[in-house]
Structure 1
Amino acid sequence: MGAAPRLPITLEEAKAHLVVDFNDDDGLILAYMQAAVDQLDGYEGALNRCLLNQTWREVYRDWPVDRELELWFGDVSAVTVTFLDKSGVEHSLDAASYELLEGFGRSFIRFLPAFTAPLLSKDTTTPVRVEYVSGFGDLPENVPAAIRYGALMIVGSYYANREDVLVGSQASTLPRSTELMIKRYRRFVV
């Protein structure tokens, strides 16, 4: 078996949650752990946010008219803005020319009043680029306990029920206990 994937829950935690004290199912449990985290994490996850720190890049056609760039994810700990000038040469924008703001589950880059937008390259459709780190941190314990235990509940559901779980006449996408645990951390995208 290869190295364990970088996840906010450990194999040991999952096995303790499942009350599994043998190693035969480790590969299966790791696969369920990855599937559970995939169901919650990132762009298409139920939470619409990054769990462990991830680096993302967003590109823009021009400088914003309203002096703000809204980033897809919140919980941003580091950001770099680069651009291609009118000659096509890449430059990093001085970090003193903008500020990073958090609000409503998203992060924003606000260009300060002294910022004068440089002319951009016409040879590319996306000359403004923002690279940022989003997530609760680098360590599993940085991820809120409710999210981590919600992921463990999903692993438990997968392990115990190898098929869809029916609630009434509909298949459930997440265990109800997980829904309740993660509810306050869910970011709604408008």
Structure 2
Amino acid sequence: MFLRQTVAPASEPISLSEAKAHLRVDISDDDTLITALITAARQFAETECTRALITQQWQLVLDAFPGPSLLGVPYGVPYSIPGHAILLDRPPVQSVESIQYQDMAGDWQTMPSTDYVAELQSAPARITPGFGKIWPITLPQIGAVKVNFTAGYGNAAAVPQGIKAWMLIRIATLYENREEVATMNRGKLEPLPYVDRLLDAYRVPML
């Protein structure tokens, strides 16, 4: 399985003016640096939560469609994960654009959207064949299945405040500490224990 971003988000959850207000920076000298830190903080938050924030596009590459197995409800997950389900690990998923596969002749085919069901509210999102349908037979070759989908909360206003608050704190930390180590001039440095807890409600459970 390989997941790659095909279209990056067109904007960030935190604007430059919001970040500068949090940092109490009035000059424009560091605008380029702060802009880069906003992107770094967003990417860090997305990695920590296994989520997409601003609208972006992804492609999941599989070697084959998942095989059948008994339905089950994993511990700590309030819904079933059928063995033949494709899981999309960058919630919230807005839409599934296409499911493509290589047939036995080696030609790429697009699966009709009426042949599968996409349940996009869960995290991760799930896709299974529709009732009475099965996954197509694919060429026994790596990378034979590609799922293209759009993910993210939408624009900056739709991103949860807990994530944006964490990003602002992370941006401030990166701005004030620009090296790998810190020189302790005024005593011991202590991390604030609540900071990373801001992301707890948004972390996608590991299955």
TM range (shorter): 0.7 to 0.9
Cα deviation, residue 187, structure 1: 1.8
1:54 aligned to 2:56?
Answer: yes
Structure 1 residues 61 and 31, CA gap change in structure 2 (3 angstroms): closer
Say which SS state the counterpart of residue 182 (structure 1) adopts: helix
Alignment of 1:82-121 (within 5 A): 82-102=100-120, 105-121=123-139
Cα deviation, residue 182, structure 1: 1.7
Letter in 1 for 2:107: V
Cα deviation, residue 169, structure 1: 8.3
- Please list every run of 5 or more consecutive structure 2 residues that lacks an aligned counterpart in the other structure: 1-9, 69-83
Equivalent in the alignment of 2:35: 30
How many residue pairs get matched? 178
Q: Per-residue displacement from partner, 1:160-187 (whole Å, max 9, x unpaired)?
A: 3334569x98985xx5443132221122
- TM-score, structure 1 normalization: 0.81
CA distance in 1, matches of 2:133, 2:94: 22
Cα deviation, residue 118, structure 1: 2.9
Q: Per-residue displacement from partner, 1:9-40 (whole Å, max 9, x unpaired)?
A: 10010011111111111122112212211211
Alignment of 1:149-168 (within 5 A): 149-163=165-179, 164=181
Letter in 1 for 2:85: E
How many percent of aligned residue pairs carry the same amino acid? 27
CA distance in 2, matches of 1:13, 1:32: 13
Alignment of 1:9-20 (within 5 A): 9-20=14-25
Structure 1 residues 33 and 118, CA gap change in structure 2 (3 angstroms): closer
- TM-score, structure 2 normalization: 0.75
